Amino acid sequence: MTDLADLSIPEAAAALQEGRLTARQLSEAALARIAARDDRLHAFTHLNPDALAEADRADAMLADGHAGPFCGIPIAVKDLIDVAGLPATSGSAVLAGRIAPADAAAVARLRAQGAVVLGKLATYEFAMVGPDMTLPDPPARNPWNTAHITGGSSSGSAAAVAGGLVRLALGTDTGGSIRSPAAYCGCVGLKPSYDRVSRSGAFPLSASLDHVGPLAASVEEAALALDAMTEAPDDWRAATGQLTRGAKGLRIGYARNWFADDPQATPALIRAMDDAAAQFSMLGATITQLDLPDYALFEAVGSVILHAEALGEHEALIRDRLAFYGRPVLQCLAFGAAVGAEDLARARKAQAALTEEALQAMADVDIVITATTLTPALPFSAFDGQKAVWTPMRTIPFNVTGQPVLSLPIGFDDGLPLGMQVIGRKGDEDLICAAGHAFERATDASAQRPLFRR
């Protein structure tokens, strides 16, 4: 018999709406799962003491005929995103004791539809760098091997989904912080088009690069969540609008140049990406190798913008609370202090040029695929809590361009997951989700889950 905590969101929604299940039962099952597993994963930093009362309100909504896909569904939220009445520390001692006065916009949209917030999830300090063992909360651990990181900064979000604690978690992505944890933990991460989901109520890292989005157990669940959180829904095509169209007829560009010749890329990653491209071909897509603009240029431009904007967000806090910051975050902010106005202006100009180059490279294809990260998750032993370690990702370019990107599992390297990005033009969430859904149904990487023993 399927544990209630393992029901997909569509399965649970159908059972709730047909009266075969209550929201309280579903939330109790999720809370029991958290109690059984989270002592090893450290995904949650705070549980919501009113979660079951929220579930009872969802049951009342269901009794009144509310039939949305999230009514009664348990979710969890990265501690960079406000949930009214719950601690909101952004993973830092700097904000210790802060309680969110209101829901972030994305949380409010889901709660209005009856979603039940179970609690807050671990993040790297202010979404910058980590893991840092000196912070108030221990870092989240990878469910596939707890000696390894989850990636950052939506670390607890990925651990919670991959570890089976919830089917959906909210995260943020400024340079890959939804997609790299999704890849490292073997779940789905969806970074929307810039401005599709409101960032209101999420502590900013870099306002022009920040995105709020879902991490989920499947492409369908991520797409459903994105549609539910979308601001001004009529202005965007539904992410679920073409979910079952398949990949047949899609023109897919394969950006192999971003990873295959990089010495950091593991052989297993290269094989898995080549196999993924072949799988899309077997599904009826046309595959064309293409070269995206130099990744190093994107990383340099994105880094200048990110660090300069981050310093601006923290100037007041640094004056008042300097001693409470972790050393790796201060190192990042110091980099921002070295960025002058002319440097930032040049980076903005380069951002526009690189965005145009990326779109020109995609002129003859519908979507692009490439690796999410070059390796599986690093071990905690690579981090000593006092220095920033940059993990090899291929994610920040699409924060620079604002394009939507889906990351989903494609295989394993020594028992740890590997991920692929599916990239579209701005507003093409429906195409990337359709392609990801078709791939997911034709393969078994997304269906595999880590084994838990007591």
Active site members? 78, 153, 177
Which is nearest to 23 in space by CA: 61, 77, 76?
Answer: 61
**Could you give the dihedral angle defined by the CA atoms of residues 210, 395, 70 and 53, in that order, rounded to the nearest 10 degrees?**
-60
Q: What are phi and psi of 413, to 5 degrees?
A: -135, 110
- Kindly list the distances between the CA atom of residue 223 and the CA atoms of 173, 217, 235, 253, in Å, as whole numbers in the listed order: 16, 11, 16, 22
Measured torsion, CA atoms of residues 125, 88, 181, 179, in degrees rounded to the nearest 10? -110
Under DSSP, the state recorded for 379 is: B
* Measured distance CA(410)–CA(68) in Å, rounded: 31
Which residues touch 191 (CB under 8 Å, ≥6 apart)? 173, 178, 179, 211, 213, 398, 399, 404, 405, 406, 407
Burial 3-31 (b: 16+ CB within 10 A, else e): ebbebbbeebbebbbeeebbbbbbbbbbb
Rounded Cα–Cα distance for residues 78 and 203 (Å): 11
Q: Which of 417, 341, 439, 339 is nearest to 372 (CA)?
A: 417
Determine the residue type at 201.
G
Strands 367-371 and 251-254, how do they pair?
parallel
Whole-number Cα distances in Å, 182 to 4, 188, 318, 375, 415:
23, 5, 31, 13, 15
CA end-to-end span of the chain, whole Å?
19
Residues in CB range of 42: below 8 A, 6 or more apart: 122, 137, 138, 139, 140, 141, 156, 159
CB atoms within 10 A of CB 217: 23
Residue 82 C-alpha from the chain's centroid: 16
